[in-house]
Amino acid sequence: MYRTTISRLMSLNPAIKNPNLIYIGQIILVDGAVEIFDEDTGTGEYHIIRKGDSFYKISRMYGIPLKELILMNPKLAAQRYIFHGQRMLIKWKKAEQ
């Protein structure tokens, strides 16, 4: 379906330590399935994490679907917790070519 390799999937999803162990509902980045948000190729607006914040709370605050917010912040999503002071991407615009 996506014509990719296990090694490429692992490089896009560093939080997955065992490629033989994934879960129902787990979000996995795949080339071509979503646009990768890269600070070098665009500009973004960020939310600075405060005490009590969660992906769910921030998604509701900005009206962003939870899955989209997670896909825009794969490094934060791979962590067990988010911490005060971290930046979460909430809006991204691709740079003009």
CA separation for the pair 32, 3 (Å, rounded): 10
Q: Which residues of 30-44 are buried (b: 16+ CB within 10 A; e: fewer)?
A: eeeeeeebeeeeeee
Q: From first to last of its 97 residues, what are the pLDDT tens digits of the chain?
A: 567 888 888 887 777 888 898 887 777 777 655 455 555 555 678 889 999 999 999 999 989 999 889 888 888 888 888 999 998 888 876 656 5
pTM value is: 0.58
Architecture of domain 35-97: Roll (3.10)
> Letter for the amino acid at 22?
I
Residue ranges of domains in the chain: 1-33, 35-97
**pLDDT at residue 56, as a whole number:** 94
